[in-house]
Structure 1
Amino acid sequence: MTATAVHETLAAQPLTDHHCHGVVTEGLDRPGFESLLTEGAPWPGISPFDTPVGVAVRRHCAPLLDLPRHAPAEEYLARRAELGPREVNRRFLTAAATDVFCVDTGYTPHPLTAPHELAEAVGGSAFEVVRLENVAESTVRAGVEPDAYGAAFRAAAEEAVRQPGVVAVKSVAAYRTGFDLDPARPTDAEVTEAARRWLATGGRLADPVLVRHLLWTAVDLGLPLQLHTGFGDNDIRMHRVDPAHLTDWLHLSAGTIPVLLLHCWPYQRQAAYLAAVFEQVYLDVGLTLHHVGPARARAVLEEALEITPFRKLLYSSDAYGLAEFYLLGALSFRQGLGALLQDRVEADELSLPDALRIVRWTGSANARRLYGLPSETVPRRD
């Protein structure tokens, strides 16, 4: 009866997905689908279907396409094409039972649904997360002198976050420099000299001084800051994206803005430590969950929750491109969290009321509180 109560509460809890992306609106052939199934690139003779996430798609997503569990990849893709992207996206988004989406709109190599389209698919609500590197790069493309870059970037960022529905900002410093940076706010002279170097060479924002300037500008903006940490594509230098590298910066920025550590794997324990000792730090294990699938979600969540205060863990899917990732993220979270809470209740290490409170907090209430979202669940239209 205890286990049933925990799982039933999780199943009935609409999720607030505090970090996600749009899904593709075009039909996908096998190479197109497989390219979105992996953080790497498909290699000759090695299919992304032959990975934990590929197996999880065939096991847990196939039934929503009216296929048997573990349907072969060819049958899965044929049925997906038969239904068409609109119907496929509707089925998976509805099954994920997510009613609030905080959408990072800054990565669009494919045509993707807009935030309002995600919300409309389930009768929910969508908000926007502004990617600050995009703002900086747009500032440079618009034309700016080195000594005016700092002020121009800040003005552009302030304008971006004033737009309706914006609730947070994000940085992908992990991809550009890593976190082993000088934690101090750079001087105006340092920013000007770094901007001069960048304007001379062009390309993406990857100068350590300007990345530091971006992070401190985020502090000045006053909104929650999301930071990609840990697992990502091969632009990442994994040893440099351990969030523990942020310790000195977190000391210097204490008392300012919430800092959201995204994804975290394999550094979920380091992230948990930071959340335990810094008031402003929160974390999720999104992206990780759909890549490990329901089979290993509990293990990842268990490590993340070893010392994390329960008001500090948030849910995210980090779904991008494939609507399947919305379902897998939600399913992995519900099954993994349910199993570990169930065992703690049965061992009398946790009361049932406490377990149900943790479900409500981590599934939705923590994110709603942090981002200032409405506390009431938006009614769903099935």
Structure 2
Amino acid sequence: MGADGVQHLAETIERMPLVDHHVHGMLPDPSEADLLAALTQAEHPASPTDVFDSGQGFALRRHCAPLLGLETFASPADYLAARRALGSDDVARRLLQASGIAAYLVDDGHRPDRLMPDERMAQLAAAPTHRVARLETIAETVLAQSASGDEFVERLGPALEAAATEAVAFKTVAAHRCGLELDPARPTNVDVRSAADAWFADHRAHAASAPTTPHAGHAASARPRLTDPTITRHLIWWALERGAVLQVHAGFGDADLVLERANPARMQALVAATAGTGGRIAFLHCYPYVREAGWLAHVFPHVFLDVGLAVEFLGANADAVVRDALDLAPFSRVIFSTDAWGVPERVLLGARLWRDAAARVLGGYVTGHGWPVAEAVRVAEGIAWRNAEGLYGRRFVTR
């Protein structure tokens, strides 16, 4: 087959639909500052140099610029000017539809107040959206509406069940809040009620200390924020015993993350303890712990992983994480995502860079290791969309 086989593989991957099994919503009309902020995980104000003079920035100038009517590697100034001239809806429509993503599973938990409705995103993308419910957000909303820790516990179960009626999966950001090295034991009712009382009292104390007319920082601190590991474990066990898919942030994230506490290997004991629940765990992003996540998928049949987020930031080096994801994990448990938030450039780059990296990595297996081209196509198609359909038990791709 040689070069012809590799070319056929690349062309087939290019035409494949993708199921983005973890993404966030889009900003309705991002300013230049919004765009730059959305293209970094840093919390300090981003400059054009920070964003464009990076692996991600070069990829953006190569792949996004032509879709806005510019030459490849157009200057940052020209790119920003073209974006302003076209308007945010036209930019979103061009980039989202060029991604070839056939369905989006949208995590509703990160700054939903700033994002357009999912229905609007679906219109611009010409692809359906499906909800992923964030466990911490549900618990925080219930606590804010409760008059005691006991009332929180009584209301939490019905709130979770209500979310389950419209969500295709749940997600936890335990990595950001308390770390992934969680006690594997299922918390008792006494444990949960004790933790709820302590959380409620702590929230009330913080709310009482907030100014009557708070500025933005105080307002944020007065909102409930779940960091308690016992309640977090309760939520995780609830989702998995219900037989749901639980998406777990692991590895690379923004500055409020302690990176070493986000290593998926730290969750090994809890992963092992929940193996018989009927639920499935999908580790998200994973970089730089992709091999650790792959090992967990190798030894635990209810574990899946993706390398979303990392791919779009690594640019020309995306091959490395795509290859690492295929080291140990069964290929049927590797999934595609972008983890894009806020701006369509991130969606386009997540899709474009994955397609290119997958074609190069799998093409190398064909030429260097004798893989049949049809088998390489089958593996790519699984990661692109079939594995997501199997994991979530839903048909996302029209065929």
| Bin of the TM-score, shorter chain as denominator length | over 0.9
In 2, Cα distance between equivalents of 1:108 and 1:59: 29
Measure, in 2, the Cα distance between the counterparts of 1:199 and 1:20.
31
Letter in structure 1 aligned against 2:38: L
- Alignment identity in percent? 37
Cα deviation, 1:101-146, whole Å, max 9, x if unaligned, reads 1111111266323333333234322211001111000101111422
Matched, 1:63 2:83: no
Give the distance between the partners of 1:126 and 1:43, measured in 2 at CA.
30
Counterpart secondary structure, 1:355: helix
CA contact (8 A) 1:243 1:267 kept: yes
Secondary structure of the 1:157 match is helix
Distance 1:23 1:32 in 2: 11
Name the amino acid aligned to 1:49: F
- The aligned counterpart of 1:378 is 398
Q: State the match for 2:177 in structure 1.
A: 176
Equivalent position of 1:149 in the other structure: 152
Structure 2: how far apart are the matches of 1:336 and 1:13? 14
2:301 to 257, 279, 283: 279
Query: Which of residues 227, 233, 243 in structure 2 aligns to 1:222?
Result: 243
Q: Distance in 1 between matches of 2:292 and 2:20?
A: 22
Residue 24 of structure 1 deviates from its aligned partner by: 1.2
Q: Give the structure 1 partner of residue 281 of structure 2.
A: 259
Q: Is the 8 A contact 1:148 1:192 kept in 2?
A: no
User: Does 2:227 correspond to 1:206?
Assistant: yes
Task: Name the CA distance, whole Å, in 2 between partners of 1:228 and 1:159.
Answer: 23
Instruction: Choose from 326, 331, 337 the match for 1:316.
Output: 337
Q: Distance in 1 between matches of 2:382 and 2:23?
A: 19
Is 1:292 the counterpart of 2:314? The answer is: yes
Contact 1:26 1:111 in 2 (8 A): no
Residue 343 of structure 2 corresponds to residue 342 of structure 1 = no
Q: How does 1:37-186 map to 2 (within 5 A)?
A: 37-42=39-44, 47-108=50-111, 111-163=114-166, 166-186=167-187
Residue 187 of structure 1: aligned partner? 188
In structure 2, give the amino acid aligned to 1:346: T
Report the secondary structure of 1:128's partner residue: strand
Give the residue type in structure 2 aligned to 1:358. Answer: V
| Distance in 2 between residues matched to 1:257 and 1:27, nearest whole Å | 38
**Given that residues 264 and 293 in structure 2 are in contact (C-alpha distance below 8 angstroms), is that contact kept between their aligned partners in structure 1?**
yes
| Contact persistence 1:258–1:280 (CA under 8 A) | yes
1:43: how far off? Answer: 5.1
Contact 1:21 1:320 in 2 (8 A): yes
SS at match of 2:308: coil
Number of the residue aligned with 1:34: 36
- Looking at structure 1, the residues matched to 270 and 30 of structure 2 have their Cα atoms a distance apart, in angstroms, of 44
Relative to structure 1, is the Cα distance of residues 143 and 151 closer, same or farther in structure 2, using a 3 angstrom cutoff?
closer
CA deviation profile, 1:326-382 (whole Å, cap 9, x unmatched): 11000111000110111111124411111010111110000011111216x338xxx
Question: What is the identity, as a one-letter code, of the residue corresponding to 1:79?
Answer: A
Distance 1:333 1:100, change over 3 A: same
The CA distance in 1 between the partners of 2:126 and 2:54, in whole Å, is: 33
2-structure distance, mates of 1:342, 1:190:
52
**CA displacement, residues 38-96 of structure 1 (integer Å, 9 cap, x when unaligned):** 00034587632222212221222111111112222121111101100100000000110
2:388 maps to: 367
Higher mean displacement: 101-110 or 176-185: 101-110
| Change in CA separation of 1:44 and 1:349 when aligned onto 2, cut-off 3 Å | closer
Deviates more, 1:213-222 or 1:224-233: 213-222
User: Do the aligned residues in 2 keep the contact of 1:123 with 1:378 (CA within 8 Å)?
Assistant: no
Q: Secondary structure at 1:347's aligned position in 2? A: helix
In the alignment, is the contact (CA less than 8 A) between 2:40 and 2:46 conserved in 1?
Answer: no
User: Across the two proteins, how many residue pairs are aligned to each other?
Assistant: 374
Q: Decide which moves more: 261-270 or 40-49.
A: 40-49
Q: 3-state DSSP class of the match of 2:341?
A: coil
Letter aligned with residue 168 of structure 2: V
Deviation, 1:148, is 3.8
Query: Shift of the alpha carbon at 1:284?
Result: 0.2
1:155–1:121 CA distance, 2 compared to 1 (3 A): same
Unaligned runs of 5+ in 2: 204-223
Q: Is the 8 A contact 1:150 1:188 kept in 2?
A: no
Q: Does 1:305 align with 2:307?
A: no
Question: What do you get for the CA RMSD once the two structures are aligned?
Answer: 1.6
Distance 1:74 1:109, change over 3 A: farther
Following superposition, the deviation at residue 8 of structure 1 comes to 1.0
Give the counterpart letter for 1:378 in structure 2.
T
Superposed CA deviations along residues 163-205 of structure 1, whole A, max 9, x for unmatched, are: 3xx2101111111001112111111111111111111121300
2:258 to 229, 232, 237: 237
Distance 1:44 1:19 in 2: 25
